[in-house]
A = this chain, B = another copy of it.
Amino acid sequence: MVTQENFKECKEMIKRDLNDNKSDIRLSAGDIEEIFDELWPICRSITGDGLRDSFRILQKIIPLQLHEITSGTKVFDWEVPDEWNIKDAYIITPEGKKIADFHKNNLHVVNYSVPVDREVSYDELVNHLHYKKDLPKAIPYIASYYKERWGFCVTYETFKNLPREGKYKVKIDSSLKKGSLTYGDLVLPGELDEEILFSSYLCHPSMANNELSGPLTLAFLYNELKKIKNRKYSIRFVIAPETIGAICYLHQNKEKLQNKLKAGFVLTCCGDDGSITYKKTRQEDSLTDRVAEHVLENSNQNFDTLPFDPIGSDERQYSSPGFNFPVGVMMRTPFSKYPQYHTSLDNKSLMNFDKMVELIKILSDIVKSFDLNTTYENQITYGEPFLGKRNLFEDLNSKLSHSEIIKRRLRLLNFLDGERDLLSICEKYGYSILEVEKEINQLLEHHLIKDPRF
């Protein structure tokens, strides 16, 4: 349980952490795996102590401040549901065999099941059983947040061997009562008030790609961004239960986000072996899209882009028309494209932590590119600047054409007219924005261009 005391502790941890530009935490597959293993066994849901325990583990990497929203709170068109906690769940077959044991795999119980403790016939039981005929060895993941029911999830192999005669004992030791929903956030301040958002979700029980890969990517990304000096944009990190948690977050932070949010990324399904997939923002040509695609194109990674679609993860909330935030989604294999999705087969064997490290570097490059990109203003606009007197030009015209570095300078100076952003010039000439950083700094030092943000 997150208490007042715990809150204070949290705040101090963040303060300490933010004042310290260094980080002991390395960006390595092994370090990510260690946290993954700690988070794995916990039975999470959209509320409850499993969720809180998971946040406490993530706080080792990212000092998120936790917030609790009381059950019954109206959040836009929704209402925060009662808090769900669970101690045990299982079925005893007529032969006395214990199956669907929550302690062996927490997917066995339908998430948000109401308590039950009685004997039922086979015919009654099957109405409460879920299995996947097409994946006979998989326990499906089922939740019923907004309709009260109880149920168990088993493999199809278990299901088809159940005896039809005799009594089954079903036991779910859960509770569903007033409590609260927990989410965490953190702003890593930059020189600008304007923010870039990274958002992921925490609410599924023991699953890997479609649960732990998102918050782990976000947490380790925080540690990378923290190390960058002179960051321009402030970076907002949010982890909340999917859908209802994001809605709570938007409800509680509406004006702040409307004033500051300039770009953002939802992180989901970041952990598998597939190539990177970027799903565009609702605008489909926002700065978020342009920067993300530019960085991906200039990386050595294969990637696909998807159009925006209001079906998916929390981009549905950030992109609801009232907000219309330019928030894209960064993932590897999209949720609907791998059959293990929402089953017990979405486990560590799907994970590739080295590839997660690669993706975190891409995300870090995206932030650096945002920082570098602006509509710099050429300070000498009538005629070409006299580069020779600043030792920025050849003093002998001895070649068929200028060196690449001088071409870059002339192009940047001509087009950085206070209207075009650097990215558009890089796109025009096929430059990687991170590769022209040196030239930009040189032109800034010679006062040939000005950064309009300061």
Contacts and interface: CB of A to CB of B under 8 A. Distances in A.
A413 to B, nearest CB: 7
Interface string A372-412: 00000010111111101100000111101110000100110
Contacts of A79: 386
A374 to B, nearest CB: 16
A322 interface: yes
Interface of A: 75-79, 130, 140, 142-144, 146-147, 243, 246-247, 250-251, 254, 282, 309-311, 316-317, 319-324, 335-336, 339, 341-342, 378, 380-386, 388-389, 395-398, 400-402, 407, 410-411, 413-415, 417-418
A44 to B, nearest CB: 15
A399 B388 CA distance: 67
Contacts of A250: 382-383
A389 to B, nearest CB: 7
A92 to B, nearest CB: 25
B140 A316 contact: no
B140 A398 contact: yes
A380 B316 CA distance: 13
B396 A144 contact: yes
Contact of A320 (B336, B382, B411): B382
A400 B336 contact: yes
B320 A415 contact: no
Copies assembled: 3
30 contacts: A77-B380, A77-B384, A77-B385, A78-B383, A140-B398, A142-B396, A142-B397, A144-B395, A146-B388, A146-B389, A147-B388, A147-B395, A243-B384, A247-B383, A247-B384, A250-B383, A251-B383, A309-B411, A310-B415, A311-B410, A319-B414, A320-B382, A320-B383, A320-B414, A321-B378, A321-B381, A321-B414, A321-B415, A335-B401, A339-B400
B402 A311 contact: yes
Ranked 4 nearest A-B pairs via Cβ? A322-B381, A310-B414, A321-B417, A322-B382
Contacts of A402: 311
Contacts of A388: 146-147
A93 to B, nearest CB: 24
Nearest to A382: B322
Given A142-B398, A321-B415, A323-B383, 6 more contacts: A76-B382, A146-B388, A310-B410, A316-B410, A323-B382, A336-B400
Q: Name the prevailing secondary structure of the A interface residues.
A: loop
Nearest to A132: B398
Contact of A383 (B76, B398, B400): B76
Contacts of A246: 383
Contact of A311 (B143, B243, B401, B417): B401
Nearest to A412: B310
Contacts of A407: 311
Contacts of A146: 388-389, 395
Nearest to A410: B310
A316 B384 contact: yes
Nearest to A428: B307
Contacts of A243: 384
B143 A310 contact: no
A16 B401 CA distance: 43
A101 B386 CA distance: 33
A411 B311 CA distance: 8
A71 to B, nearest CB: 15
A251 B407 CA distance: 24
A311 to B, nearest CB: 6
Contacts of A385: 77
Contacts of A410: 310-311, 316
Contacts of A282: 414
A245 to B, nearest CB: 11
Contacts of A335: 401
Nearest to A146: B388
A443 to B, nearest CB: 14
A335 B400 CA distance: 8
Contacts of A398: 130, 140, 142
